[in-house]
Structure 1
Amino acid sequence: MRTIPGAELKSVLHYPMLIERMRQTFRAGVSAPVRHQHRVETYGQNDATLLLTPAWQVNQSIGVKIVTVFPDNGAQDSPAVQGVYLLMDGKTGVPQALIDGMALTKRRTAAASALAASYLAQPDAARLLVVGTGALAPELVEAYTAVRRIKQVLVWGRNLDKAKRVVSRFHRPKFKIEATDDLEGAVRGAHIITCATLANEPLIKGDWLQPGQHLDLIGGFTPDMREADDDCVRRARVFVDTREGACQEAGDIVQPLRDGVLTEDDIAGDLFDLTRGERAGRRFYDQITLFKSVGTALEDLCAAQLAVEMVLHNDSIR
């Protein structure tokens, strides 16, 4: 069985290939049962959580992401969330690879947003705004530049120094990249706005949105969290990665549904609809589009399969 650490995963899992493979996998579909969640007692102040997320394609692959959440780890300067991904042969059950789960999650999350943007963002979108300075921020820049000819990137965070650190990770890129402390101005001037934050209150105001923009929301992964206000939802043609996940877990969808701002029929489609051509994405150039991502086991399985294929290919030519 092969072990694939985060550094190797990034070296083989290039965004153009991953996005295209994800498009094909959403078209084909996979079996993905509901995530298993278990409380694990500890000797600390807070109990831990064990999450098991399985998915499979018949006669191809079986995968499961195993994630632990230990809230007290912060006191020991250790990440609270850690995990691995186990990929097995779908015909024999033989384990094939153990993959860095957090690196895999970052890569597939950014790829899913870029996949949605390939249908929803203006074809000539050139200005990208990244809202948030966490581990996903540089991944989003890489993913979006794989699907659109981005010429300018702005990075905004509550801490400007952290935004500057994200910018410093890019050396001699083919686009201009800067940090900003003017969120409203950056939103108004962007063609694509992607948000990956832990915000509980909306950061993006609908009044700021301009015709033709695409808004991508990755945070807000619990019903109580929120990245964009109700006006954003009212003004946009709304898409999600999966209807079931978004309508149950995502605050940017759950709260508007609860308050009557949005109905399930108002959700124009999900990534299954878009990739299969069952629903149109952007219908006209000046339309505002919104994509809400919550993640799905399909994306993990797809990324793990491609990573193992590329690692084995590289091994064969050495």
Structure 2
Amino acid sequence: MTPFLDARATTRALAPLALVRSLEALLADPAVQVPERLVQPLPGGGSLFVMPALDGRIAITKLITFTPANAGTPRPAIQGDVVVFDAATGTRTLVLDGPAVTAQRTAAVSLLAAQRLAPVPDGPLLIVGAGAQGLSHLEAFQAGLPVREVRVASRSRASAERLAQRARELGLTALVVDDPDRALADCPLVVTCTPASGVVLRSRPRDDAFIAAVGAFTPAMVELGPELCRHCAQRGRIVLDTPDAVHEAGDLIQAGLDLAALASLRDVVQGRVPSGGGPVLFKSCGWAGWDLAAARCATG
């Protein structure tokens, strides 16, 4: 029988620092192929994502549904699996929990970007959104950056308190804040990981800020105000997780920016992005290549 890793086992198999190394290796591997993903609208406002990728050893397909209407219910908004095949024989070798892969690899991508781009990597760290992505980003940044203080903002006070308590369990100082815009003045390290149903940050960030925005991954979704995005473009830098984000980064599209001219994380890792001052906005929309890196990490 094909091994199946549930959410807990998948998370254990994808430790943040090992996953960052896998991401770096993937970005340097010329054998990697990532076809365009299929996004199929579903009745009721949801979407089915079909995301294939392969290298010289394995092939994967991520099959997940995104159902915004599940917010506030016992059902998760993201459900599905990542299926791993042996590229030579076609044999199915492993099935990973899709939402756990999404959480872990997205946080690892943000961590890799922060390690390369954040002017002040020790924070304090502001996390806006206290769901699965908030937790995975907290744990990844704690593992890979010298962060000692965290501030959490969420629409749900209870969720924010739970994430702050997890930060304390990791040895960090943690506070729940009601106004994330006010917290921007004190936090040079920022992650936004909300359902992206509306703007959650409007104020101008610090000149030494690094913002990882991961919640909005369609043109209609948004977390960051247009003035904030334009300020980062004019006074600092904006980096995309992949060039595919030019069609998906709702925050930037709605700000009227020229996304085609922006650098990607591959450019950063390969040293093609010159250093510079001002705030850094890293916009992540997701890519099957990141899921392939996760599968490579889980399979050794």
Letter of the structure 2 residue corresponding to residue 84 of structure 1: D
- Partners of 1:222 and 1:93 lie apart in 2 by 32
Q: 1:126 to 1:72 in 2, by over 3 A?
A: closer
For residues 48-93 of structure 1, give each alpha carbon's deviation from its aligned partner in whole angstroms, at most 9, with x where no partner exists: 64321100013x1100011134677679843353101100112211
- Partners of 2:154 and 2:95 lie apart in 1 by 34
For residues 180-217 of structure 1, give each alpha carbon's deviation from its aligned partner in whole angstroms, at most 9, with x where no partner exists: 1132221110010100012333221243x112111111
Give unmatched runs, 5+ long, in structure 2: none
Which residue number corresponds to residue 3 of structure 1? 4
Give unmatched runs, 5+ long, in structure 1: 310-318
Which residue number corresponds to residue 254 of structure 1? 253
TM-score, scaled to structure 1? 0.85
- Partners of 2:48 and 2:282 lie apart in 1 by 28
Name which of 154, 158, 163 aligns with 1:157: 154
Which residue number corresponds to residue 294 of structure 2? 303
Pairing of 1:239-318 with structure 2 (within 5 A): 239-244=239-244, 246-257=245-256, 262-264=257-259, 266-267=261-262, 269-280=263-274, 282-284=275-277, 287-309=278-300
TM-score, scaled to structure 2? 0.90
- Partners of 2:299 and 2:65 lie apart in 1 by 23
Name which of 199, 222, 227 aligns with 2:218: 222
Letter of the structure 2 residue corresponding to residue 224 of structure 1: A
CA RMSD in angstroms, aligned pairs only: 2.2
- Partners of 1:67 and 1:36 lie apart in 2 by 11
What is the aligned residue count?
Answer: 294
Other structure's SS at 2:169 match: coil
Q: 1:48 to 1:194 in 2, by over 3 A?
A: closer
- Partners of 2:46 and 2:121 lie apart in 1 by 46
Letter of the structure 2 residue corresponding to residue 304 of structure 1: A
Other structure's SS at 2:119 match: coil
- The answer to whether the aligner puts 1:212 opposite 2:208 as a matched pair is yes
Name which of 54, 63, 66 aligns with 1:56: 54
For residues 107-141 of structure 1, give each alpha carbon's deviation from its aligned partner in whole angstroms, at most 9, with x where no partner exists: 00111111111111025533100001111111101
- The answer to whether the aligner puts 1:233 opposite 2:229 as a matched pair is yes
- Partners of 1:72 and 1:264 lie apart in 2 by 30
Larger radius of gyration: 1
- Partners of 2:280 and 2:182 lie apart in 1 by 19
